[in-house]
Structure 1
Amino acid sequence: MAHQYADIEEHDPDADWSLPGWLYTDPEYFEVEMARVLRPSWQIVCHQSDIAKPGDFHTIDYLGESVIAIRGQDGQVRAFANVCRHRAMRLVEGPAGCAKKLVCPYHAWAYETDGRLSGVPMKGDYPALRLEDNGLAGVDVEIWRGFVFVRLEDNGGPSVAAMMAPYDHEIAPYRFEDMRCISPVRLRERQVNWKNVGDNYSDNLHIPVAHDGLTRLFGKSYAIEAQPWVDKMSGGIVDRVSDNVWERFYQKHLPRAEHLPEANQRLWLYYKLWPNMAFDIYADQIDFMQWLPLTPTTSVLREMAFALPDAFTPEDRRREMKLVRYANWRINRVVNNEDTWLIERVQQGMASQSYTAGPIGASEVCLRSFARKIRQLIPEARQHRAPAPGWSRRPRVA
């Protein structure tokens, strides 16, 4: 079987065009994209410190699946489908918890934290049952710099570590492994296709047009670049005092982070991982966001925030750091509202019969990189108009 990601960086004959509008609304294309792009991709679940003790678990729900990441009695982190092997009942509810065993609330089948089926009421009533063959369905797990990722299928794509390798040296000083969650999982539904969230995240040209606050903070320092599997955006906090109260507070009171080099003290970094995850990295905290598809035209944003625990922060700066984090939140709440307004209107425009694909600038390197990978995985994405219904069920040409 050919490597699905082979030659993904070869020249794209459609490089000067954006992805066409029908890819952001079409139900048939959506199903293909979920199978070829999202199911084989890594998705963050939590930080390893969030499941520190045996039996601690976190869940993530997406693409009609629910996945449990749980620490076993042996200390190992594993992931399983949140589905009882008997009658498909969900084993656990909610984003997190702790359990010595995973006991189905329907018929009380019991599973160990390593996934083994260990208890079945009226076991003799099931003549075909073999306990060893009916453990929980496993899901791939990767722990990268303390963060726990899962993927539903393996089609030969890169690991998280491989994707992030070009920037691993830049991330190392932030001590991701020592981070602790300071804001639990938040879910925010948006009336947009998932790609519109990611396109906007990596779009450099809209910053000076639509984000006055970021422009005041960064001046002309905002920059982007694209590696094969990760985009990088960055901006340095300028010395010119902002006339906005929260921006000015952040500029004035951001304390020195002793664990960071001088060049990073007032630097905001953004890394977008293929295909739908991003780290927002500040000297004061780290935010994580992923945009999970719900339907062709709706998505849910899943967010968490992390920081080094107080033990790593001098006592006289803890209160100041908390206030700075609040200012950070106030600044980015405005940015998020601006982005929501933008992407919802772009989504509406994608449904217009007048729109096919738009020309894409040479400087829009992140959008080019993303579109190239989509076209490689789904060749029909090159067509500016949707093909006749049923195209996904016809034999693929090798």
Structure 2
Amino acid sequence: MNHPQPMLTNLAPRYYADPDIFETERQAIFRRQWQMLGPVSRLARPGDYLAVDVAGWKLFALRGEDGVLRAFHNVCRHRGARLLQEGAGVCKTLRCPYHNWVYASDGSLKSAPWFGEDPGFAVSQWPLESAHLAQWRGLLFIAIDPESSLADQLGDLPAEIDEFPLETYTAVEEHRFDAHSNWKIYTDNFVEGYHIPGIHPGFYKVIDFPNFETVAMNGMVRMSSPQKDGSIYGGKWLWMWPNWTLSTFPGGMNTSRINPVSVDRTEIIYDFYFADTSEATEAERRRTIDTTCGIVREDFEICEHTHKNYQSGGYRPGPLSPRHEQSVAYFQAKIQAAVAG
């Protein structure tokens, strides 16, 4: 006898509103998983750096004088000051702005001026705390204490995206968004297309929604749909565990990192890449970027109100669509496993 499968239901609201669960996620997920930082081409020359926030941890990648790319915590070993301003830049001397401690590009402490004589102090004992870096197809990843290799974490992605010449695309623009909701609410929203008719009317018009397909795979979710005339999209949108995305379109792609800032605030960092960056295609690039950014913004209001309802105690978990929300169930199951730990 065939027994019906139990109905899938949404995560309990405490997973989104409880600061203790958020701290558990920081340690169990964001400390242990690789984080996609964007194009490695940003760090092409000695002195180039990228300083980032990863769920509250301050990290940076730096191209050393020897040409080697390394990663460190953006924290001076003396009294914890920030070394580099967040974002991309060029650093010829890695000097703490607080007390002028100077580090070499390999992370070793070179000097601690005016520190005074202390027989127990040696500069060799105070290098920067290091982090891990890895690269895949022109994208740079960072990790604090990775539980697996980047290749293992990527799961089915390499085969899924093998036909696209990612390495040949040029990074053109970065855009940052600030959403006042938990990072998982935004992610739940991203990995399903069920909300498209209600939230994205313009997007809905240029896709064949009845044939929109969502598939949960190993370490990723694939969403795809046939396109109609006037669409800027390639019809494939990918989300990868735990918090980054890659979407293709004719002649390029975009990536994003969904970064938890606090239990009720999320930063989303988008990068846009194109095969042709000539003046002749500037208008089309602009249309692609502006259209995508507009769709991203359309999600924020519904996510913010959903977060408030989860916080209020007025919501009990509802059913998940077996057709459209299997990807939500997949993501939420991974969250529960990580939190249970």
TM-score, shorter chain, exceeding 0.5: yes
Identity of aligned residues (%): 27
Instruction: Give 2:183's aligned residue.
Output: 194
Q: Quick one: distance in 1 between partners of 2:44 and 2:270?
A: 20
Would the alpha carbon gap of residues 85 and 352 (structure 1) be closer, same or farther in structure 2, given more than 3 Å must change? closer
Does residue 51 in structure 1 map to residue 43 in structure 2?
yes
Query: Is 1:120 aligned to residue 95 of structure 2?
Result: no
**Secondary structure, aligned partner of 1:360:** coil
- Find the aligned partners of 2:7 and 2:47 in 1 and give their Cα distance: 48
Counterpart for residue 305 of structure 1 = 272
Deviation at 1:298, TM superposition (A): 1.5
Please identify runs of 4+ aligned residues in structure 1 that moved more than 6 A.
none
Whether contact under 8 Å (2:37, 2:257) holds in the other structure is no
Q: Which whole-Å CA distance do the structure 1 matches of 2:223 and 2:280 have between them? A: 27
Structure 2 unaligned blocks of 5 or more:
none
Which residue does 1:209 correspond to in 2?
198
How many matched pairs? 335
- Pairs within 5 Å for 1:96-115: 96-115=88-107
**2:313 aligned residue:** 353
Output the CA distance in 2 between the equivalents of 1:130 and 1:301: 41
Shift of residue 369, structure 1, vs aligned partner? 0.9
CA contact under 8 A between 2:21 and 2:339: conserved in structure 1? no
The alpha carbon displacement at 1:237 in A equals: 2.1
TM-score when normalising by structure 1: 0.78
Secondary structure of the residue aligned to 2:33 is coil
Rounded to whole Å, the distance in 2 between the matches of 1:309 and 1:159 is 33
* 2:300 matches 1:340: yes
Structure 1 stretch 331-340 or stretch 70-79: which is displaced more?
Answer: 331-340
Query: Equivalent residue for 1:271?
Result: 238
> Contact (CA 8 Å) 1:46, 1:58: kept in 2 or not?
no
Residue 349 and residue 14 in structure 1: after superposition, are their counterparts in 2 closer, same or farther (change >3 A)? farther
| Distance (Å, rounded) in 2 between the aligned partners of 1:45 and 1:332 | 19
Residue pairs, 1:1-398, within 5 angstroms: 16-122=8-114, 125-154=117-146, 156=147, 158-184=148-174, 186-220=175-209, 221-239=211-229, 248=230, 251=231, 267-308=234-275, 310=277, 318-363=278-323, 364-379=325-340
SS at match of 1:322: helix
Q: Distance in 1 between matches of 2:104 and 2:38?
A: 21
Superposed displacement of residue 122, structure 1: 4.0
Q: Give TM-score scaled by structure 2 length.
A: 0.90
CA offsets 1:224-259 (integer angstroms, 9 cap, x no match): 1111311111223224xxxxxxxx4xx5xx7xxxxx
- Once the two structures are superposed, residues 373-393 of structure 1 have per-residue CA deviations (whole angstroms, 9 ceiling, x without a partner) of 1121223xxxxxxxxxxxxxx
Q: Return the offset for 1:307.
A: 2.1
**Counterpart secondary structure, 1:208:** helix
RMSD of aligned residue pairs (Cα, Å): 2.3
Please give the alpha-carbon distance, in whole angstroms, between the structure 2 residues aligned to 1:368 and 1:320: 44
Q: Is the 8 A contact 2:50 2:62 kept in 1?
A: yes
Which whole-Å CA distance do the structure 1 matches of 2:56 and 2:291 have between them?
34
- Measured against aligned partners, the alpha-carbon deviations of 1:11-56 in whole angstroms (never above 9, x if no partner) come to xx98712111121111222222222122222222231110001111
Distance 2:294 2:102 in 1: 47
Contact 1:20/1:356, CA 8 A, preserved across alignment: yes
Post-superposition offset of 1:123: 6.1
1:182 deviates by: 0.6
Question: Separation in 1 of the partners of 2:293 and 2:78?
Answer: 45
Deviations 1:131-190 (A, max 9, x none): 222111001111111111112223x2x433333342313423432223332113x33221
Specify the SS of the correspondent of 1:272: strand
Assess, with a 3 A threshold, how the Cα gap between structure 1 residues 330 and 175 changes in structure 2: closer, same or farther. same
Could you tell me which amino acid in structure 2 is paired with residue 207 of structure 1?
Answer: I
TM-superposed CA distance for 1:90, in Å, is 1.3
